[in-house]
Amino acid sequence: METKSSSNSVTIIHNAMIVTMDPESRVFKNGGIVIEQDKIKAIGQSSDILSQFSSLAHNLQIIDLHGHILLPGFINTHVHTSQQLGRGIADDVDLMTWLHHRIWPYESNMTEDDSYLSTLLCGIELIHSGVTCFAEAGGQYVSGMARAVEKLGLRACLTESIMDTGEGLPTSWATRTTDDCIQSQMELYEKHNNTADGRIRTGIHMHIAEIPYENQFVKGNRKVEHGTVTHLEKIDFLQNNLLSAHTVWVDDTEIGFLSRAGVKVSHCPASAMRMLGFAPIREMLESGICVSLGTDGAPSNNRMSIVDEMYLASLINKGREDPLKLGKRLTSLWSIPTHGPWFLFMTAFQALCTV
């Protein structure tokens, strides 16, 4: 299919099931869409679109989709692009082995060029699964990731992975102080935020409450009642610009903290099933938390298909609950106001959960 538009070109795509994901959740069973250069100009029934627009433009391309489904691009809200080259290096191990003996040695030996190539490969796979935007969970070279994103044409929220303390850190990471880490984040924000014609942003993205050991460690070292979320609430870190990855081991009080602060959660079903456990997604949705989906990195999943994650999210949560009860509750959440780009995933996820 020709995708590059020449100036003033108009493309009509028709004979498609169009799932708009707009505020009215409109679905056209036999729909058509008019695109002028890079903007959607009209959308409606195929017959109406063809009769209104097919004679108006000189430089016109008409594409018959033969009943295929057309919907907005997916957003993958938790992916480690730098780990793409490490697919398959950490199967069948627990999280601590995964980190200490497989992933940290791999990532700490990467170069900026390795990160660039890894992000390029990851991006190609993301595009293949219908993703147009992703949130990077953190690697070492934001400059390498940014070079790749610029070339790929995707939108991305990029972050550097930072650790100012921890047992077993690779030597090259173990010397960073808290101030070094914060300074580095500020410099990366200055350098990369809003670059690539606005396609690249930087953000705050954190792995939170992944395994029970994490909560035990925080309880023992920070003197809080439950775990990471309780500690973050105590130090006033929970804000509406925080994307919290996984967030599996949280209790009802902590779900309340996340909800009140407007924290967004990225649910990664495949990664959960491999190593972490099942997050209380129904409870989070019912408390008004914006929950989206992520694939996590290649060594946590061995694939980058967001459609597979929707399928797994649906089954996991039906397995945890009475499916009929779950379906009704999720259906009622269609009326939640939109949350910018995150809403797309949430609605897609809900739609599948109610099938």
Phi/psi of residue 275, nearest 5 degrees: -140, -25
Strand, helix or coil at 188? helix
* Whole-number Å distance between alpha carbons of 321 and 166: 37
Nearer to Zn ion, 53 or 74 (CB): 74
Joined together, the tokens standing for residue 342 give 């995150």
Helix (H, G, I), strand (E, B) or coil at 198: coil
Min dist CB 168 to Zn ion, Å, is: 18
Contacts of 330 (CB under 8 A, 6+ apart): 282, 285, 350, 353, 354
Nearer to Zn ion, 135 or 149 (CB): 135
Residue 212, phi then psi, degrees to nearest 5 = -60, -35
Interacting span for Zn ion (CB under 5 A) from 34-42, 45-53, 132-140, 329-337:
132-140
Cα–Cα dist 186/184, whole Å: 5
Check binding of 208 to Zn ion (CB under 5 A): no
Of 76 and 350, which CB lies nearer to Zn ion in the complex structure?
Answer: 76
Which range, of 108-116, 163-171, 291-299, 315-323, touches Zn ion by CB under 5 A? 291-299
Q: Which of 3, 39, 44, 2 is nearest to 20 (CA)?
A: 44
Write the binding mask 89 to 128 for Zn ion: x where contact by CB under 5 A, - elsewhere. Answer: ----------------------------------------
Instruction: Give the nearest distance from C-beta 271 to Zn ion in angstroms.
Output: 7
| Residue from 12, 19, 49, 137 in contact with Zn ion (CB under 5 A) | 137
Tell which residue, 226, 178, 224, 228, has the closest CA to residue 208: 228
The count of residues interacting with Zn ion (CB under 5 A) is 2
Tokens matching residue 177: 């102080």
**CB count in 10 Å sphere of residue 333:** 18
Q: Tokens representing 310?
A: 């929707």
Element (H, E) at 289: none
End-to-end CA distance of the chain: 31
Nearer to Zn ion, 70 or 121 (CB): 121
| Residue span 244-283 as binding mask against Zn ion, x where in contact by CB under 5 A, dash where not | ----------------------------------------
Residue nearest to Zn ion (CB): 137
Q: Is 146 in the site for Zn ion (CB under 5 A)?
A: no
Give least dist CB 232 to Zn ion, A: 17
Q: Is the Cβ of residue 67 or residue 166 nearer to Zn ion in the bound state?
A: 166
Q: What's the closest the beta carbon of residue 256 comes to Zn ion, in angstroms?
A: 24
Q: How far is the CB of 296 from Zn ion (least distance, A)?
A: 5
> What residue ranges bind Zn ion (CB under 5 A)?
137, 296
